[in-house]
Structure 1
Amino acid sequence: MSLPKPAMRGLLGKRLRFHLPIAFALSLITATVFKYSVTEPRKQAYADFYKHYDSAKEFEAMREAGVFQSVRPSGE
């Protein structure tokens, strides 16, 4: 009794027909989960932040704190 020969011809194509759809489906699922668990909340957080952001007020606060070298605080 001898061992059967391994099927080498067409092995890559046979394996790809099985694994390629699985890999494609998993990548779509991963991309969808990432979009709705990371990207969408991040976009919403940016929208909420800039809804009430006042850049002039922020500039004045940084100027008073002495962050800028070329802008003097208003007290001087």
Structure 2
Amino acid sequence: MTMSLTKPAMRGLLAKRLRFHLPIAFGLSLIAAIAFKYAVTEPRNKAYADFYKQYDATKEFNAMKEAGIFESVRPSGE
């Protein structure tokens, strides 16, 4: 009694596997993009907005000028 193995289905194997894996890959990438948006970019944008609500550029410039950071601007005392 001889047992013969069935031939592997090679024809159309790539297309069959792509039909299965491509929607999964697309769905996972979409989930990752949405998670990145809400976990990273939204809090970062909120932090920037909160910082610039109370940021005074003139006050910061005068503090740096008094500290002597700028070579082309003399402090007020001179």
TM-score (norm 1): 0.93
Give the superposition deviation at 1:73. 1.1
| Runs of 4+ residues over 6 Å off in structure 1 | none
1:63 alignment partner AA:
K
Q: Distance in 2 between matches of 1:58 and 1:39?
A: 26
**Which residue number corresponds to residue 18 of structure 1?**
20
Give the superposition deviation at 1:2. 3.0
Unaligned runs of 5+ in 1: none
Give the superposition deviation at 1:39. 0.6
List per-residue Cα deviations over 1:25-51 (Å, max 9, x = no partner): 101111111111111100100000000
Unaligned runs of 5+ in 2: none
Q: Distance in 2 between matches of 1:26 and 1:74?
A: 59
1:28 alignment partner AA:
L
Give the superposition deviation at 1:15. 0.5
Match of 1:54 among 53, 56, 64: 56
TM-score (norm 2): 0.91
